[in-house]
Structure 1
């Protein structure tokens, strides 16, 4: 099981990494999944915006983009890009700590890789419940 954290065009480091890795593995295990390879790439708003335009043809800023590279059912392989700028802004807007918001976004990407969606209002409610359950596991 490989979980890696990278920085693209910014300086950002999760600490302690081992706690986050254990936590993410626990979230996956609770859903019956095994993480094979999971890469989190922390970047700026502009970097993620360019990915959104180029790969998804979405001309908007976002906090997270998840690419699912999984080949087998119940095994997770993926790349998750997170805009640290957007996470900071979301935390301020929601009046929560950056720490809580980064956990929400980290779990959000993982939940997408396990099949949870957030396009409809009902899916968004379910995603929020799963995010809260995930944060509580930390």
Structure 2
């Protein structure tokens, strides 16, 4: 299992990487899968906008882009998170920055685990799984 954290055009957020990695592994275990290689890239809005345009032909800001390299039940992927958008969303939703960041971190993992959020019903399931995962994080010290 390998989970790495890097930055692109932004500073590394002050997260406990060991705790977050343990949390992610527990969430993945709950889905009866294993972690292969997960790479988190924390980046600026502009960096992620360019990735969105280049790889997905989307011309808008987003909080996360997930590239899924899953093979069978081994979860692998590259997850790009815009710290700028996470900060903006935290203000908009009136939640703590780190709560929103943790939600986005696990959102990408849930995508790798096969949970989608394209329609309203899928969005409800995604939010429920995010909430369950955040409760699990609160139990890890």
TM-score (norm 2): 0.95
Report the alpha carbon displacement of residue 14 of structure 1 after superposing the two structures with TM: 3.9
**More moved, 90-99 vs 4-13:** 4-13
Report the alpha carbon displacement of residue 13 of structure 1 after superposing the two structures with TM: 3.3
1:58 matched residue in structure 2: 58
1:93 matched residue in structure 2: 92
CA deviations on 1:78-132 (whole Å, 9 max, x unpaired) are 0000000000000000000011101100000000000000000000000000000
What is the root-mean-square deviation of aligned Cα atoms in Å?
Answer: 0.7
CA deviations on 1:32-70 (whole Å, 9 max, x unpaired) are 111110000000000000000000000111000000012
Structure 1: stretches of 5+ with no match in the other structure = none
1:40 matched residue in structure 2: 40
Residue 27 of structure 1 aligns to a residue whose secondary structure is: helix
Structure 2: stretches of 5+ with no match in the other structure = none
Residue 12 of structure 2 aligns to a residue whose secondary structure is: coil
Residues 65 and 122 of structure 1: is their aligned pair in 2 closer, same or farther, counting only changes over 3 Å? same
**CA distance in 1 between partners of 2:136 and 2:11 (Å):** 27
**CA distance in 1 between partners of 2:13 and 2:82 (Å):** 13
**CA distance in 2 between partners of 1:118 and 1:83 (Å):** 19
1:31 matched residue in structure 2: 31
Provide runs of 4+ in structure 1 moved above 2 Å.
none
TM-score (norm 1): 0.97
1:1-138 mapped onto 2 (5 Å cutoff): 1-70=1-70, 72-138=71-137
